[in-house]
Amino acid sequence: MPKKARELSAIEVKRLEQPGLHAVGGVAGLHLQVTPSGAKSWVLRATVGAKRRDIGLGGYPDTPLAAARERARETKDKIRHGIDPVAERRALRSSLLAQQVRDITFERCAAEVIRKKQAESRNVKHAQQWENTLRTYAYPILGKMAVSDIDLAHVLKVLEPHWESKTETMTRVRQRIEAVLAWATVHGHRSGDNPARWKGNLDAILPKPSKVTKVQHHKALAIDDMGEFMANLRQQQGTAARCLEFVVLTATRSNEARGAAWSEIDLANSVWVIPASRMKAEKEHRVPLSKEAIALLENMPRNAELVFPSLRGRPLSENAMTNLLKRMGVSATVHGFRSTFRDWAAERTSYPHHVCEMALAHTIKNAAEAAYRRGDLMEKRAKLMQDWAKFCDKPQPKGEVVPLRSAEM
């Protein structure tokens, strides 16, 4: 039992300047602690269970003597009821910190996810699209909300107004909201089901995207127009024209051809090896080069590492070939030539389906088929691409309307 100290007055407490602990009386164990620097604070010395504790009750003079004695009485009352005030305080502080972590806003979480996407993505515009769509559609409703508070009703408030009129865009917005909330869950900012999940959740409320929107395919050139188009294309000058010709001959994607480097091309063996980092499926893709493709490459200057550099030595812009097609008066997209190639292979040749799909670097969706197909069918694909190049070299005859001779009167 601590020795009962004389009860000091407020004036006497104010005059205490000697460093150390000074008993102030009124409540057993209550002391004013004075540090060598002159700072003062209240300390209650008490036994909690089997432990001797110095329990802080606040600073002086912010906490005056009367308030310190009241706090000391309340603290001792808790101890008598089996409550450890120090442990209680730690638990409250931990709970507060946990709540502050949970209270992070959707916008802050999204910023972290976007930063991660920017680090992972090969396409800068992809991460920018994330930010743009979330800012336009999600932030006005979810942006300032704590992610822990977001539920199904909030997600629907974002999606429903535009779901049928902008289905493709809102489908992406839903996926991005789901990704942000998943990130928040993994990082401890929320718990429970993801309210932006489609299967077994939003699919029971919103119409299936395929039922309310039509798929917009890339516009392709008719098969029989390829020969005439290629003849006209070869009359065009400039790097964009040669790059587009290469796109057609190799049936590759625009970004793959625009980023082609001489170090990827083996002219001696007629092979172009596109690294995984530039492929949509993130797998290395070997492209057999036809004689026509090799001839095109041999006529290209080798002043830079890129095969088709812009005037500044960088890859051509996405619009370079698109604008060329417009100037030529061709109603097709660059990507559409892959469709023309696929139509030609299916309708005019007997090459197997999987050979044609591999030529386009399409992922094999059938797991069993993918497991058994170890090679890349290079020899068969080389013949396919050479046949394609020959077809593109020959303008197809156009049907002529021949007027019938009038019957003699």
Q: Is residue 37 scored above 80 in pLDDT? A: yes
Distance CA(311)–CA(316), nearest Å, equals 9
Task: State yes or no: cis peptide before 207, omega within 30 of 0.
Answer: no
Look over the chain and give the mean of its residue pLDDT values, rounded to a whole number. Answer: 86
Comparing 145-154, 193-202, 360-369, 382-391, the range with the smallest average pLDDT is: 360-369
What pLDDT score was predicted for residue 129? 85
Shortest CA distance to 245 belongs to which of 181, 174, 321?
A: 321
pLDDT at 76: 86
Confidence (pLDDT) at 218: 60
- With b for 16 or more beta-carbon neighbours within 10 A and e for fewer, the 309-337 pattern comes to beeeeebbeeebbbebbeebebebbbebb
Is 80 exceeded by the pLDDT of residue 23? yes
pLDDT for res 239: 95
- Top mean pLDDT of 76-85, 116-125, 183-192, 239-248 is at 239-248
% pLDDT > 70, the chain:
87
Beginning with the edge strand found earlier in the chain, give each strand of the sheet holding 285-288 in spatial order. 265-266, 271-274, 285-288
| Residue 400: CA count within 13 A, CB half-sphere | 4
Task: For residue 183, give the nearest of 109, 242, 133 by alpha carbon.
Answer: 109
Average pLDDT over every residue of 143-152: 92
Report how far residue 286's alpha carbon sits from residue 359's, in angstroms, rounded to the nearest whole number. 9
**What distance in Å separates the CA atoms of residue 42 and residue 249, rounded to the nearest whole number?**
84
Of the candidates 346, 335, 345, the one whose C-alpha atom is nearest the C-alpha of residue 386 is 345
Mean pLDDT of 121-137: 80
Q: What is the pLDDT of residue 290?
A: 96
Go through 139-171 and write b for each residue having 16 or more CB atoms within 10 A of its CB, e for each that does not: bebbeebbbbebeeebbbebbeeebeeebebbb
Q: Please determine, for residue 374, whether its predicted confidence score (pLDDT) is greater than 70.
A: no
Task: Specify the pLDDT at position 64.
Answer: 92
- Collect all residues with Cβ–Cβ distance below 8 Å to 288 and sequence separation of at least 6: 270, 271, 378, 381, 382, 385
pLDDT at 250: 96
Residues in contact with 251: Cβ distance below 8 Å, sequence separation at least 6, in sequence order? 337, 338, 341, 342, 359, 360, 385, 388
Q: What is the mean pLDDT of residues 312-327?
A: 92
Collapsed DSSP state (helix, strand, coil) of residue 114: helix
- Interior/surface letters 230-241, b for 16+ CB within 10 angstroms, e for the rest: beebeeeeebbb
Return the closest-CA partner of residue 221 out of 213, 211, 230: 230
**Cα three-residue angle 289-394-362, rounded to 5 degrees:** 40
pLDDT band at 404 (very low <50, low <70, confident <90, very high): very low
- The structure tokens listed for 361 are 């670097």
CA 376 to chain centre: 30
Strands (E) in 330-374, as ranges, are none
pLDDT digits (tens, 9 = 90+) for 97-118: 666 555 689 999 999 998 888 8
CB atoms within 10 A of CB 124: 9
409: pLDDT strictly greater than 50: no
Q: Quick one: average pLDDT of 156-162?
A: 94
pTM: 0.53
With cut-offs at 50, 70 and 90, classify the pLDDT of residue 343.
Answer: very high
By CB atoms closer than 10 A (0-12, 13-18, 19+), residue 51 is exposed
pLDDT reported for residue 217: 54
**Residue 367 dihedral angles phi and psi, to the nearest 5°:** -60, -40
Q: Of 301, 192, 308, nearest to 245 (Cα)?
A: 308
pLDDT of residue 400: 44
Task: Kindly give the interhelix angle for 167-186 and 124-133, rounded to the nearest 10 degrees.
Answer: 90
Cα(257)–Cα(297) distance, integer angstroms: 12
* Cα dihedral: 379, 383, 388, 389 (round 10): 100
Which pLDDT does position 408 carry in this prediction? 36
pLDDT of residue 88: 75
> Among the listed ranges 92-106, 137-151, 172-186, 334-348, which one has the minimum average pLDDT value?
92-106
Residue 377 in this model has a pLDDT that exceeds 90? no
Are residues 46 and 55 in contact, defined by beta-carbon separation less than 8 angstroms? yes
DSSP state of 278: G
pLDDT of residue 330: 92
Full set of structural domains in the chain with CATH: 10-89 (3.30.160.390), 106-212 (1.10.150.130), 223-393 (1.10.443.10)
Query: Which of 258, 282, 260 has the alpha carbon at shortest distance from 272?
Result: 260
- pLDDT for residue 293 is more than 90: yes
